[in-house]
Amino acid sequence: MLTDSLVPDAEADRLADALRTAGYDARGVLDLLGEDATGALARGERVPALRATTGGSPVETLTRLFLLGTTEPAAAVRAAMPVSGLLEADGDGFRAAVDLRPYEDWWVVSDLGTDVRPGPLRPDHVLGVGSASITLSQATLRRPVGTALDLGTGCGVQALHLSRHAGAVTATDVLPRALAMARLTARLNGLDWDLRAGDLLEPVRGERFDLVVSNPPFVVGPGDGGFVYRDSGLAGDEVCRRLIRQAPGVLADGGWCQLLANWVHRDGERWEDRLAGWLDGLGVDAWVWQREVADPAQYAALWLADAGERRSGEYEDRYARWLDWFAAAGVEAIGFGLVTLHRSGAAVPTVRIEEVTQQVEEPVGPHVADWFDRLDAVRDADLAGIRFGRAPDLQLEQVASPGPEGWAVTAQRLRQPHGLRWSATVDPAVAALVAGCDGNRPLGELATVLELAYGIDAGQVQRIVRGLVEQGFLIPH
């Protein structure tokens, strides 16, 4: 589908040349500002960066226009960029009408944030690269795939990442304005995406993808918050439920879907049961991580601030209305997490729903992929004939108390210092089992020894080993 761009393609190409010539890239801007001013800018403090960009060179002009939101003299702007479509006149000079910034090896076009244009955002605001964007991009599996879909592409950040390992990228958004920005992002970076307008999976109905990613408008509330990037128009967590229910329908065999989601914790309902209901009968493996939980007051305040609504005269009314809605809906808290679905073809799909609140090693995507691989390796197998080894960096921590015969171990924890950094309390039998997994003996032999020493039968040993393999404490050889 042909999507309007913010500027014609030929102008976009001249703009990319000008950005390149000026050295307006991640390295160039870091060299220009230095570490301190860069750090200050990341904290929302512009002054050090303003002081570092007074020379009038093209890279300074571009940095001031797009990263600092200043109005620059017309002559300096003309020298820095050949395209006026992304600027607006302001007195004798020009200022940016959009955000255009280096990100990794790319440039990304989005709307200006509240840091440079204070006040409530426009309802069709197109978000730039934010912390949720990065969370998803770090969690995404980066194996080579044929086809990938970025649902709710916005500025195109996920599509950029997908372009590195997907043969073809389709990107959708309900907002034509977002698609125009994504199109310019693609063009500036010499990429070509199939951009489609429409609601959720509607634009790709009947198609199949090897990888689907989405950072959807997951914010939970009455459904009428009014900002398209944040509020889906559906009340509560319905947008996430709907996406999860529909996503398997567009997954190719072996395909993956990864999305960020929020869900409510309701009075009288376990959040795990709520998610299990969403995943029931989908026919795909699923791994749900709850990373954080916020109470309703924290949550509403966070998202009101995100859209610049703190400065609005209606702030307190909107805040109160949101809390009223939470109270009426029986919402006690809101969970935030990552959902990964895999059309593995398993006859009985595995569904795991758990808290993953520890600090994980980034990028986390490869560790997610490893988890599914380990699951495949052991799910239907009789483990008795398999040799298992320990994760190479595995540690056992012991807590001991003084007793009549010296120190007596009272608690033991397995700990992985890398990867997902799981830790788990284990009893002496499990500690002995893990110690015995040196890759030399099949599990059946070990199980016989454990049965004699600790009285656990072979079935129990297999169940324990499956859990230890899933979490990566043990590795099938």
Ligand X SMILES: C[S@@+](CC[C@H](N)C(=O)[O-])C[C@H]1O[C@@H](n2cnc3c(N)ncnc32)[C@H](O)[C@@H]1O
Nearest distance, CB of residue 233 and ligand X, angstroms: 7
Comparison of 77 and 136: residue with beta carbon closer to ligand X: 136
Minimum Å distance from CB 34 to ligand X?
A: 28
Alpha helical stretches, state H, 140-263: 157-163, 176-188, 238-246
- CA distance linking residue 164 with residue 193, whole number of Å: 12
Closer Cβ to ligand X, 64 or 196, answer by number: 196
Please, what is the minimum distance in Å from the beta carbon of residue 173 to ligand X?
5
Whole-number minimum distance, CB 109 to ligand X, in Å? 12
| Nearest approach, Cβ of residue 400 and ligand X (Å) | 48
**366 preceded by a cis bond (ω within 30 of 0):** no
* CA–CA separation, 218 and 237 (whole Å): 7
How many CB atoms lie under 10 A from the CB of residue 173? 28
168/377 with CB nearer ligand X = 168
Q: How far is the CB of 157 from ligand X (least distance, A)?
A: 5
- Comparing CB distances to ligand X, the nearer of 178 and 386 is 178
CA–CA distances in Å: residue 458 to residues 323, 424, 433, 450, 466: 53, 21, 12, 9, 12
The values of phi and psi at residue 29, to 5°, are -70, -40
Q: Cβ closer to ligand X: 154 or 472?
A: 154
CA-wise closest residue to 156 among 170, 142, 144, 141: 170
Query: With respect to ligand X, which residue has the nearer C-beta, 32 or 200?
Result: 200
Residue nearest to ligand X (CB): 152
Task: Select 68 or 159, whichever has its Cβ closest to ligand X.
Answer: 159
- Nearest approach in angstroms of CB 399 to ligand X is 43
Least distance between ligand X and beta carbon 263 (Å): 16
Dihedral angle computed from the Cα positions of residues 314, 315, 317 and 321, in that order, rounded to the nearest 10 degrees: 130
Q: How many CB atoms lie within 10 A of CB 456?
A: 17
Nearer to ligand X, 117 or 415 (CB): 117
Distances (CA, A) of 68 to 46, 121, 268, 469: 7, 17, 48, 49
Show the tokens assigned to 138.
Answer: 């770090």
Residues that bind ligand X (CB under 6 A): 127, 130, 133, 136, 152-154, 157-158, 172-175, 178, 199-200, 215-217, 228-229, 232
Beta-strand pair 145-151/474-476: unpaired
Bridge-based pairing state of the strands 423-426 and 331-342: unpaired
Please give the Cα distance from 13 to 15 (Å, whole number): 5
